[in-house]
Structure 1
Amino acid sequence: MKLTILGGGGFRVPLVYGALLGDHAEGRVSRVTLYDTDAGRLAAVARVLREQAAGVPDAPGTVVTDDLDEALRGADFVFSAIRVGGLEGRAADERVALDEGVLGQETVGAGGIAFGLRTVPVATALARRIARLAPDAWVINFTNPAGLVTEAMSRHLGDRVIGICDSPVGLGRRIARVLGADPDRAWIDYVGLNHLGWVRGLRVGGRDELPRLLGDPALLGSFEEGRLFGPDWLRSLGAVPNEYLHYYYFNREAVRAYREAEQTRGAFLREQQEGFYARMKDPEAPALATWDRTRAEREATYMSENREVAGAGEREESDLGSGGYEQVALALMRAVARDERATLILNVRNRGTLSVLDADAVIEVPCLVDANGAHPVAVDPLPYHAVGLVTAVKAVERAVLDAADSGSREAAVRAFALHPLVDSVSVARRLVEGYTRVHPGLAYLDRP
């Protein structure tokens, strides 16, 4: 099988290739095509992949190209991991929002909306091109904001585009470990939107073990989300939220911490990755070892401001390694290509799963996956507190899609103003002004 990675010069591509190296079964991916518009980044990542493949006799072959049509033709799977505007754009998203006193995180709040407004037009164009050049390919989307971008692409690719995220996987595995259950055998009752979901149950052998966790303060305080949100709040919710809900439940504290930080997360990653790619220009530099050190630093500092606010301490060793989205991607490809049925938490079209949303709304829920794609599993209705957040954020996503499709500045303002973490229409208007000043890619938004 041929896998094409859009954004093939991206820093996390070696995680995907590393997962592929462990797959030796018949029908595995035998060729990986890396496509990127940045030749330097592409060359650097190709070096890392060559070192990863050393000593693996059946390692998938790699091809690099800056020709998009060449990359797509004949692809069985297309992995989309692009970053429109690069990390420079992410840093600008954060700064513009923080200057207005609101959150600038890349997938949540004002920063996520700005990122979406830049990304959706590009992702939509890619979806149209894939539909034309590789109509039988399955598209695995990891481009953020993952749920929004998956929904935009689904308008042209239907159910052949599936969004993935490592957050629900990591959360489910942490809960299972705390409860002494095998994460690979536990059923995770997870529901919501991307970066806006809750674990409402964890079943082992037909028995829901989550009440045992919620009833034990010591257990609740022994894993990352328990320390992040606090045992009292988790018991009050009767569920364990995705870590990104910390931005909603403790927004004031999070914004203060981000404003007081020496640099934003985007600025940190920009400097870190610039250093990595610069070192890769030295032909004598050990590519894989350099990449691995950089990755370890990246993982250790993930959501550090939120953990500081909550007094949650350092990340656990088990959360610093690989085993996240790249394993979800591999399991998804195996299930589709070989009809190896699997249950995975994915971003797919709703199709009536959540009655509060229409059929085409992309949601994040457990899915049964087979050769015909991903099929969302029926779930219990959302509690009202979750309905409020899910429907409000979906309205924001629809406004972003409207703005990207029509070029309407009014729709862009509406997207910001409707978000629960933007507290004023006036702020929303200033955010649109600020983002259009710093992002040439938003020039498509008309002016009054």
Structure 2
Amino acid sequence: MRLAIVGGGSTYTPELIDGFARLRETLPLEEVRLVDPDESRLALVAGMSRRMLEHAGHSARVVGTTDLVDGVADADAVLIQLRVGGQHARHADETWPHEVGCIGQETTGPGGLAKALRTVPVVLRIAETVRRHAKPDAWIVDFTNPVGIVTRALLEAGHRAVGLCNVAIGFQRRYASLYGVEHDRVHLGHVGLNHLTWERSVTIDGRDRLPELLADRLGDLAGEVHLAPELLTQLGIVPSYYLRYYYAHDEVLREQLAEPTRAEAVQAIERELLELYADESQHVKPAALEGRGGAFYSEAAIELLAAMQGGADRARVVNLRNDGVLPFLPDDHVIEVPAAYRDGRFVAEPVAPLADDLAGLVAAVAGYERLALDAAVHGGRDRVLRAMRAHPLVLQHDRAERLTDLLMAENARFLEWA
């Protein structure tokens, strides 16, 4: 298999490479092409990646290139993992919403809208190059946030694409560890939109263990997602960490105002990692990479890619078209649920009806996402304002006006229509 990774100069790429080395029997690779416009950074990451594979005895070639066409040519699959504007833009997303009393986060709320506006046009251009130069049946696997919006943009443009997030696999691995079982014995009742999901069941060998987890480990479960135990008890399910931005917005805002941003922390980690990657004696994944985020991303990506190549077709959590799974959403909206790969496509498992409070929040955020994609594709302040106002964390018109002005001022160099 020939795999292209667009955004391959990311300091996180060696996490993927480590997974390729450990799980070589699951996903046989002949060549990995790392594509990135930052030549110096790419050289460091590609060099580290080669040493890691060589040390592990893996025969795959690693090629680094700044040329997108060369990078995706004849690829069997293309993984997109980029951040337009880098950590500096992320830092802005995490701070300017504070001026209007909103949380700053790069995928949720006003910051998430800014990221969508920066990202969607770039990804769509990349996807057109993939369409022209990769193999005709090549898949695009999108790990670029906001995954739900970006994946829908790709699907609406007719690309063979699926979205991937590491939230579900993190829950699965955690519950497998708690019960001392192999992770493939754990099946999650994972449902929602990207970064707006809940675990409604944790089934191990046909038995739902979530009720006993909530009874016996309530404090641990609540602590892991930083939410009140009483909330989990009342819901009877486990929200993802990203629900904290909705269920505890004001608490999160107070914390953000008192602490450095996540972007600042990641920048420090990246400086350390790049120094390590420059050291030619380094040939194993650095421990510092654990602080970079994206736990289990490599396993999730490898399992998904292997399934596409004819591997096991058990259900795994992906972002795909709704197509009636959640009947209160349009068919072409993108949801995040377990799906199996069969006959060249992903088929979602049936989902039991959502409780009214969950369905209401999903519907509201889905409405925002549709407006956000319209703004990202077609541009215009009015479209941005409509999307901003529609987000459940904004709503008020005056607040939306001020946030829209801040967003456009901070992102003017990225908005081609501005």
Q: Given the two structures, how large is their TM-score scaled by the length of structure 1?
A: 0.87
Aligned to 1:229: 227
Deviates more, 1:346-355 or 1:418-427: 418-427
| Residue pairs, 1:421-436, within 5 angstroms | 421-436=393-408
The corresponding residue for 1:337 is 309
| Cross-structure match for 2:266 | 269
Inter-CA distance 61–117: structure 2 relative to 1 (3 Å threshold): same
Please say which of residues 414-423 and 60-69 is displaced more in the overlay. Answer: 414-423
**Contact 2:26-2:303 at 8 Å conserved across structures:** no
1:294 equivalenced with 2:288 (yes/no): yes
Map of 1:279-318 to 2, 5 A cutoff?
Answer: 279=275, 284=279, 286-288=281-283, 292-299=286-293
Post-superposition offset of 1:350: 0.9
Q: How many angstroms apart in 2 are the aligned matches of 1:17 and 1:180? A: 27
Number of the residue aligned with 2:148: 147
Task: Extract unaligned runs of 5+ from structure 2.
Answer: none
- Report the AA paired with residue 269 of structure 1: V
CA distance in 2 between counterparts of 1:108 and 1:244 reads 8
Q: CA deviation at 1:89?
A: 0.5
* Residue identity matched to 1:298: R
Deviations 1:5-29 (A, max 9, x none): 0001011111111111123439711
The alpha carbon displacement at 1:437 in A equals 1.7
- The superposition leaves residues 30-66 of structure 1 with CA deviations (integer Å, 9 ceiling, x where unpaired) of 1000100101110111122122123333331111111
Q: Report the Cα distance in structure 2 between the residues aligned to 1:54 and 1:33, rounded to whole angstroms.
A: 16
Provide the rounded CA distance (Å) in 1 between the counterparts of 2:129 and 2:333: 22
3-state SS of 1:244 partner: helix
Q: Which runs of 4+ in 1 moved over 6 A?
A: none
Provide the C-alpha distance between the structure 1 equivalents of 2:322 and 2:395, rounded to a whole number of angstroms. 29
Correspondence for 2:123: 123
1:23-422 aligned within 5 A: 23-25=23-25, 28-134=28-134, 135-158=136-159, 160-179=160-179, 182-216=182-216, 219-223=217-221, 225=223, 228-261=226-259, 263-277=260-274, 279=275, 284=279, 286-288=281-283, 292-299=286-293, 324-370=296-342, 372-422=344-394
Secondary structure at the aligned position of 1:74 is classed as: coil
- Whether the 8 Å contact between 2:273 and 2:289 is mirrored in structure 1 is no
Give the length in aligned residue pairs.
Answer: 417
Once the two structures are aligned, what percentage of the paired residues are identical? 35
Task: Name the amino acid aligned to 2:288.
Answer: T
1:3-22 paired onto structure 2 within 5 Å: 3-22=3-22
Distance 1:227 1:338 in 2: 35
Structure 1 pair 18–180 and aligned structure 2 pair: CA distance change class (3 A): closer
- 1:82 alignment partner, SS class: coil
Contact preservation (8 Å) 2:120, 2:376:
yes
Q: CA deviation at 1:149?
A: 0.8
Q: Is residue 147–residue 193 contact of structure 1 (8 Å, CA) maintained in 2?
A: yes
Looking at structure 2, the residues matched to 379 and 369 of structure 1 have their Cα atoms a distance apart, in angstroms, of 17
Alpha-carbon distance between aligned partners in 2 of 1:28 and 1:200, rounded to the nearest angstrom: 34
5+ unaligned residues in a row in structure 1: which ranges? 300-321
Whether the 8 Å CA contact 1:197–1:364 is kept in 2: the answer is yes
- 1:181 shift after superposition: 5.1
Letter in 1 for 2:145: N
Is this contact kept in 1: 2:116–2:150, CA < 8 A?
yes
Q: Is the 8 A contact 1:436 1:442 kept in 2?
A: no
Aligned residues of 1:172 and 1:199 also touching (Cα < 8 A): no
Q: Over the residues paired in the alignment, what is the CA RMSD in angstroms? A: 2.1
| Aligned partners of 1:127 and 1:156 also within 8 Å | no
Q: Which range is displaced more, 144-153 or 197-206?
A: 197-206
Letter of the 1:398 counterpart: R
- Find the aligned partners of 2:27 and 2:16 in 1 and give their Cα distance: 17
**Given the two structures, how large is their TM-score scaled by the length of structure 2?**
0.93
Please report how far the alpha carbon of residue 428 of structure 1 lies from its aligned counterpart in structure 2 after TM superposition.
Answer: 1.6
- 1:392: Cα distance to partner? 1.1
